[in-house]
């Protein structure tokens, strides 16, 4: 059932110009640093993906004042944040938008920021919130009053809703294949459970990643949480960059709107509140005295399952995993927080980190439980480190693992109505995308046996 990994040469670098046939050259010293870093990573990596999987460096030949790395995200019920970067140190943090091409009937002004990472200095990073917007509507927009026109589509006001999921993306040929498959069929929101650019302190890779995904991320909202490759902690010296500085500065998510004290975890709702999505931080404090734990308890307590029949959680390091890769790394967080998710009757938990696909039965506290969430690992978006082939047949959790495969791909959660949703995992087969796993889920809010009369009642039995 499982393909066997084999060692291959380190991935070659592909340079792709952005929006032009005359590419601007990337400095030779930058390519040399990338090649050395890739060689070292290849030697240290336990798993190496099968070819092709070359790293793609997407360059920029736009004028310095023109927007690049454009992406959109959700902010509240009827607003979206438009983010982009300009190389110029000046420019307008303005978005003009409307329902017809070239006819911008509304305008919004935001702010810009930047950051330094040792010798690297970012361009101006702009964030503008637009709205109120009508649901299920295509809008045309232009950033900074110059450059290209983009289009975006807002999510629907009610179910049905289509969520696409892809973790551990990177910027390789396999990433390009995954995103092409995601976009072949319409979806409303893309959820990413961590590990975006695989910059790993090489800050220009954040820029190439932003240009690489712009075609997709400018059209539909991307909602992301951090992975280990976003940490990028500097040395413990005065003036060293703080952890997550590139991630939190570039990919701003609505943590303040959800009452979260940290950009590393937050929540949001879609489809008129029918689906509540919680984005947890595997690399923030999570024990019972942590800010994240307290925020999560408050966030889940506010969810009315009569109005919000679906509860979805994303995090990076999986709590359930039968692969030798990253074995046990999510266990401490599971022990600290799993009861909160179980008591709230979370329907499904998505994670990344392990570069493969795996789906478990409904589970709680290492045992099958019809009122626990389904745990799904979807860390197979296209990263440069390779696939995790070593699933352990005799693992203590193997009896709970219903499907596992080391292939690149993406997932789709089609929430049909208040009680039913269809999950499908699509494996990349080059030009095609093959459904290798699918099932129908019933919302736990519709399951009378799992409904709690009083969520604060700790006498609820785990044995169902």
Residues labelled catalytic: 326
User: Pairing state of beta strands 149-153 and 161-165?
Assistant: unpaired
For 342, the 3-state DSSP assignment is helix
- Return the SS3 of 82: strand
CA angle 306, 308, 312 (to 5 degrees): 135
Distance of alpha carbon 110 from alpha carbon 91, whole angstroms = 12
Residues in the chain: 464
**Cα distances (angstroms) measured from residue 142 to each of 96, 115, 138, 278, 441:** 5, 24, 14, 30, 40
> CA 116, CA 203: separation in Å to the nearest integer?
9
What is the Cα–Cα distance from 177 to 274, expressed in whole angstroms?
31
Classify 395 in phi/psi space as left (phi over 0), alpha (psi -120 to 50) or beta. beta
Residue 103 burial (CB < 10 Å; 0-12/13-18/19+)? exposed
Cα–Cα dist 126/135, whole Å = 24
In 331-398, at which residue ranges do the beta strands (DSSP E only) sit? 348-351, 357-364, 367-368, 374-378
Residues in CB range of 232: below 8 A, 6 or more apart:
117, 199, 200, 201, 241, 243, 244, 245, 246, 247
Cβ neighbors of 336 (< 8 A, separation 6 or more) are 286, 287, 288, 293
Cis peptide preceding 52, ω within 30 of 0: yes
Q: How far apart are CA 26 and CA 149, in angstroms?
A: 26
Instruction: Tell me if residue 177 falls in helix, strand or coil.
Output: helix
- Sequence-ordered strand ranges (E) for 301-443: 310-314, 348-351, 357-364, 367-368, 374-378, 401-405, 409-415, 420-429, 432-442
List the beta strands (DSSP E) in 17-78.
55-58, 68-75
From residue 391, give the alpha-carbon distance in Å to each of 38, 53, 234, 387, 439. 25, 22, 34, 11, 22
């Amino acid at each position: 059932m499982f393909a066997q990994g084999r060692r291959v040469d380190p991935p070659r670098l592909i340079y792709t110009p952005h929006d032009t046939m005359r590419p601007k050259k990337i400095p030779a010293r930058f390519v040399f640093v990338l090649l050395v870093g890739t060689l070292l990573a290849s030697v240290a990596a336990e798993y190496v993906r099968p070819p092709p999987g070359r790293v793609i460096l997407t360059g920029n030949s736009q004028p310095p004042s023109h927007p690049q790395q454009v992406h959109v995200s959700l902010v509240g019920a009827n607003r979206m944040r438009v983010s982009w970067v300009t190389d110029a140190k000046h420019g307008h943090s303005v978005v003009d938008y409307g329902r017809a091409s070239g006819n911008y009937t509304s305008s919004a002004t935001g702010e810009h920021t930047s950051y330094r990472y040792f010798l690297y200095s970012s361009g101006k990073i702009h964030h503008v919130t637009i709205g109120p917007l009508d649901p299920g509507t295509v809008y045309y927009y232009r950033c900074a009053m110059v450059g290209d026109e983009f289009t975006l589509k807002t999510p629907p006001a009610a179910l049905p809703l289509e969520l696409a999921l892809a973790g551990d993306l990177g910027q390789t040929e396999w990433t390009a294949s995954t995103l092409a498959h995601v976009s072949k069929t319409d979806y409303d929101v893309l959820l990413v459970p961590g590990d975006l650019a695989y910059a790993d302190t090489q800050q220009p890779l954040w820029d190439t990643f932003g240009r690489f995904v712009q075609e997709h991320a400018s059209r539909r909202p991307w909602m992301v949480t951090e992975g280990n490759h976003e940490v990028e902690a500097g040395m413990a010296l005065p003036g060293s960059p703080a952890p997550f500085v590139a991630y939190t500065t570039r990919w701003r998510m609505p943590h303040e709107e959800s009452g979260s004290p940290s950009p590393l975890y937050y929540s949001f709702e879609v489809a008129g509140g029918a689906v509540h999505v919680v984005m947890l931080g595997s690399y923030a404090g999570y024990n019972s005295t942590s800010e994240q734990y307290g925020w999560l308890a408050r966030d889940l307590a506010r969810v009315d399952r009569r109005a919000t029949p679906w509860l979805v959680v994303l995090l990076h390091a999986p709590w359930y995993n039968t692969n030798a890769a990253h074995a046990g790394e999510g266990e401490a967080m599971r022990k600290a927080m799993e009861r909160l998710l179980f008591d709230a009757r979370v329907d499904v938990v998505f994670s990344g980190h392990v570069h493969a696909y795996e789906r478990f039965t409904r589970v709680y506290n290492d045992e099958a439980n019809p009122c626990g969430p389904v745990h799904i690992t979807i860390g197979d978006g296209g990263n440069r480190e390779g696939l995790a082939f070593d699933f352990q047949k005799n693992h203590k959790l193997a009896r709970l693992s219903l499907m596992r495969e080391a292939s690149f791909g993406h997932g789709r959660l089609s929430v049909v109505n208040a009680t039913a949703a269809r999950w499908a995992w699509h494996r990349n087969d080059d030009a095609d995308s093959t459904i290798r796993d699918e099932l129908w889920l019933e919302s736990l809010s519709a399951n009378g046996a799992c409904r709690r009369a009083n969520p604060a009642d700790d006498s609820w039995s785990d044995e169902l």
